[in-house]
Amino acid sequence: MEDKKSKGQILEEKLLSKPKSLGEIENTLLEQSREFCEGYKEFLSHKTEREIVDYVVPMLEKKGYEEFRHGTEYVAGDKIYMVNRGKTLIMVTVGKRGISEGARIGVSHIDSPRLDFKPNPLFESMGMAYFKTHYYGGIKKYQWFAIPLSLHGVVCLKNGSTVKISIGEKEDEPRFCVTDLLPHLAQNQMKKPMAEALEGEQMNILAGCWTYPDDKVSEKVKLNVMSIMHEKYGITESDFLSAELCAVPSCKPMDLGFDGSMIIGYGQDDRVCAYSNLMAEIDTKDQEYTTITVFADKEETGSDGNTGMRSTFFRDFLEDFVSVYGAESRHVLQKSVCLSCDVNAAVDPAFPEVFEMNNCSFLNRGPVVSKYTGSRGKYSTNDASAETMGFLRRILDENKIPWQVGELGKVDIGGGGTIASEISVHNLDTVDMGVPVLSMHAPMEVVSKADVYMLYKAISAFYASAYVKD
């Protein structure tokens, strides 16, 4: 016979918060998560912001989305999209209520740390050809040495045409790498602090070692590499100046663990949230408020440039979209609520000392809601209001969405920012919510499938909510 709960136990259940593993909450969740994440792995296999946009646009069109036309008055149920410079994407599902009553907005970024080519990258040294790189975003440099890399990007040729490049993803294609020093000769290197042991200027990508068969040529290996690229893509060395080329890990996204409960792969910060956001947007229908989903670029380097969230592209689109209804974008934004969908650092049992256990996120406990991000003294944070937090909490709890709170490590250790601080400046109520990640910013990151799926459920509930913002 089951023991009767004590007064204290009843009060404990009523007053205290005790998060559970998602596997303990719902058995069917696991199979649903596996199915959902098969599509996610395919999405994640596209490794640059341009490739993500090129992959998503046909998907949108198959689902009934049309390219936005300025001056068109759209009605409830219409689905539209707009691409900005091939790197950012805005998707909209028009709601039943007029846009003047506000919108439900979800923003994610689709750029990730990588090794960008320098404008004049190709050189020859001691019988080998290399590409010079400039790393993009916050990385631990040593993690990018001695791993297989693929090359991705575009090159704009002198004649104005653009060539897409992807080398190293197919089984029959070569890979590339940055070489490291053997431990037998690394005594001095290994005495240095990790941040100093390897230098950015040593991150040169090995491109070839065979020579062009002409004794009258001074740089035979360099010429051989260039001749191969010219034969395949029509590229000359001067074309590198008008190129966007990068090196990324060549490994495909894979299931992790005996139970297949996790995914290991490159670029999950922040494409994991982008995918959940995308699927929530696509599945949205018959909702009260218009939904606006944004894929942004340049978050890893400060959200600058004309494709980052500091650009006016989002505000410009909104003005064009709402003007036909006689509304003003600033009034729409004041009545809207935005989810900044970005990842958070999951507690790693190998490094518990950097986390404050009452305010950190754990793998497999659902999406992480962060009132604020930033670093140390909340520098570069949005810091959502109590009212905005209460608004989101009500939606999640009423839809029985498991969620957790989280900060990015102990106060004095460091921290990090998200798009929230960039989009909230439009006088827009914004709160961070995303997936906990292990090995964030490493070449291969780890997430739980259940967390990915529950973020999709959470965003879907947010998009479907009919609550009027206070």
Q: Which residue has the tokens 């910013």?
A: 441
- DSSP labels, 42-93: HHHT--SHHHHHHHHHHHHHHTT-EE--TT----TT-EEEEEETTTEEEEEE
- 269 — phi, psi (to 5°)? -90, 100
Identify any residues that bridge with 248 across adjacent strands, giving them in sequence order: 150
Structural domain harbouring 165: 114-249
Please, which pLDDT band fits residue 26 given cuts at 50, 70 and 90? low
Spatial separation of the C-alpha atoms in residues 271 and 44, rounded to whole Å: 7
**331 and 444 inside one domain:** yes
Spatial separation of the C-alpha atoms in residues 270 and 342, rounded to whole Å: 6
Residue 257 lies in a domain: no
Between the CA of residue 414 and those of 88, 301, 355, 372, 439, what are the distances in Å? 29, 17, 11, 14, 16
Residue 469 lies in a domain: no
Residue 455 is predicted with a pLDDT of 98
Residue 30 is predicted with a pLDDT of 85
Residue 8 lies in a domain: no
Residue 323 lies in a domain: yes
Three-state DSSP state, 318: helix
Q: What is the pTM of this model?
A: 0.95
Structure tokens at 143: 């993690």
Three-state DSSP state, 164: strand
Between the CA of residue 100 and those of 37, 265, 387, 464, what are the distances in Å? 36, 41, 21, 17
For residue range 354-403, list pLDDT tens digits in order: 998 988 999 999 999 998 887 777 877 888 889 999 999 999 999 999 99
Query: How do beta strands 290-296 and 88-93 pair?
Result: antiparallel
Identify any residues that bridge with 14 across adjacent strands, giving them in sequence order: none
Residue 209 lies in a domain: yes
Residue 470 lies in a domain: no
Please, which pLDDT band fits residue 2 given cuts at 50, 70 and 90? low
Q: Which residue has the tokens 């992790």?
A: 256
**91 and 136 inside one domain:** no
Q: What is the CATH classification number for the domain harbouring 440? A: 3.40.630.10
Residue 23 is predicted with a pLDDT of 66
Spatial separation of the C-alpha atoms in residues 271 and 110, rounded to whole Å: 5
For residue range 212-268, list pLDDT tens digits in order: 999 999 999 999 999 999 999 999 999 999 999 999 999 999 999 999 999 999 999
For residue range 443-462, list pLDDT tens digits in order: 999 999 999 999 999 999 99
For residue range 326-356, list pLDDT tens digits in order: 999 999 999 999 999 999 999 999 999 999 8
**104 and 120 inside one domain:** no
Spatial separation of the C-alpha atoms in residues 223 and 300, rounded to whole Å: 34
Residue 62 has pLDDT above 90, yes or no: yes
Q: What is the CATH classification number for the domain harbouring 239? A: 2.30.250.10
Residue 443 lies in a domain: yes
Nearest to 241 by CA among 330, 121, 404: 121
Residue 399 lies in a domain: yes
Three-state DSSP state, 215: coil
Residue 210 is predicted with a pLDDT of 95
Nearest to 131 by CA among 150, 112, 113: 150
**59 and 185 inside one domain:** no
- Of the residues 199, 224, 249, the one at which a domain ends: 249
Residue 85 has pLDDT above 60, yes or no: yes
Q: What is the mean pLDDT of residues 93-100?
A: 96
